[in-house]
Chains A and B, each alone.
Chain A
Amino acid sequence: MGLFVWIRDIAKGFFSLLTGMGVTIKEFFSKDVTQQYPDERWRMADRFRGRVDLPLDPLSGAHKCTLCMMCVRACPNDSLEIVQSKGADGKTRVLDKYIYKLGTCTLCELCVEACNFDAIRMNHDYEMATYDRQELTLILNEPASRPRQA
Chain B
Amino acid sequence: MMNLSPQSKDALKTEEYWINMGPQHPSTHGVLRLVMRLDGETVLEVVPHLGYIHRSMERMCEWDVYPQLVHLTDRMDYLSAMMTNWAYVQVVEKAMGLVVPERAEYIRVMVAELNRLSSHAMWFGAYCMDLGAASAFFYGFREREIVVDLFETLCGQRLTYHYVRIGGVSKDLTEDFVPRVLDICETFKRAVDEYEALVTGNVIFQQRTKGIGVLSAEKAISYGCGGPVLRGSGVNFDLRKNDPYSVYGRFEFDVPVGKNGDCFDRYQVRLEEMRQSVRILEQAVKQIPGGPSMADVKAIRPPKGEYYARLETARGDMGVYFVSQGGTKPYRMKFRSACFSNLSCLPEISAGWKLADVVSILGSLDVVIPDIDR
Query: A residues near B, CB below 8 A?
Result: 12-14, 16-17, 19-20, 22-24, 27, 33, 44-49, 74, 76, 106-110, 113, 122
Q: Does B279 contact A (CB under 8 A)?
A: no
Q: Contacts A17-B202, A76-B71, A113-B170 given; 4 further ones with Cβ under 8 A?
A: A24-B198, A48-B157, A49-B156, A108-B70
Interface size class of B (residues with CB under 8 A): 20 to 34
Complex: A106 Cα to B153 Cα, angstroms: 19
Mark B299-314 against chain A: 1 for CB-CB distance below 8 A, else 0.
0000000000000000
Contact of A107 among B145, B157, B194, B202 (CB under 8 A): B157
B-chain residues with CB within 8 Å of residue A16 when the two chains form the complex: 201-203
B336 within 8 A of A: no
Could you say which residues of chain B place their CB within 8 Å of the CB of A33? Answer: 142, 145
A16 to chain B minimum Cβ distance, whole angstroms, is 4
User: Judging by beta carbons under 8 Å apart, are B199 and A48 in contact?
Assistant: no
Q: State how many angstroms separate the Cβ of B117 from the closest Cβ of chain A.
A: 18
Cβ-defined contact, B202 with A47, below 8 A: no
Task: Identify the closest chain A residue to B155 (Cβ).
Answer: A47
A141 CB → nearest B CB, Å:
23
The reply to whether A107 and B160 form a contact with Cβ atoms under 8 Å apart is yes
Most buried by A among B72, B152, B160, B174: B152
Please report the number of residue pairs spanning A and B whose Cβ atoms sit closer than 8 angstroms.
68
A113: nearest residue on chain B (CB-CB)? Answer: B170
Contacts of B199 in A (CB 8 A): 20
Q: How far, in whole Å, are A76 and B57 apart by their CA atoms in the complex?
A: 13
Contact of B67 among A17, A23, A48, A110 (CB under 8 A): A110
CB pair B162–A108 under 8 Å, yes or no, is yes
A113 to B152 alpha-carbon distance, docked (Å): 18
CA distance A27 to B199 in the complex (A): 14
- By a CB distance below 8 angstroms, the chain A residues around B202 are 16-17, 19-20
- The CA of A17 and the CA of B142, in the complex, are separated in Å by 23
The answer to whether A23 touches B68 (Cβ under 8 A) is: no
Q: For residue A43, give the distance in angstroms from its CB to the closest CB of chain B.
A: 11
Q: Is the CB of B197 within 8 A of A108?
A: no
Contacts of A106 in B (CB 8 A): 71, 75, 160
Q: Answer yes or no: B135 CB below 8 A from chain A CBs.
A: yes
> In the complex the two chains form, is A76's CB within 8 Å of B160's CB?
no
Chain A CB within 8 A of B154 CB: yes
Contact A76 B68 (CB under 8 A): yes
Cα A68 to Cα B157 in complex, Å, equals 27
Nearest to B75 among chain A residues (CB) is: A106
Q: Does B251 contact A (CB under 8 A)?
A: no
Task: Evaluate contact between A19 and B197: CB separation under 8 angstroms.
Answer: yes
Docked complex Cα distance between A109 and B156 (Å): 10
Ordered nearest first, which 10 A-B pairs have the shortest CB separation?
A13-B203, A49-B156, A108-B71, A76-B68, A47-B156, A45-B153, A23-B198, A16-B201, A45-B152, A76-B64
How far is A140 from B72 in the complex, measured between Cα atoms in Å?
25
Cβ–Cβ < 8 Å partners of A44 in chain B? 152
Chain B residues with Cβ under 8 A from A122's Cβ? 156
Tell me the minimal C-beta distance from B167 to chain A in angstroms.
13
B69 proximal to A (CB < 8 A): yes
**Are the CB atoms of B162 and A23 closer together than 8 Å?**
no
Contact of B204 with A by CB under 8 A: yes
Residues from chain A with a CB closer than 8 A to the CB of B67 are: 110
Selected contact of A22 from candidates B71, B145, B170, B197, CB within 8 Å: B197
A12 to B207, CA, bound (A): 13
B139 at the interface (CB under 8 A from A): yes
Question: Which residues of B have CB within 8 Å of A109?
Answer: 156, 162, 170
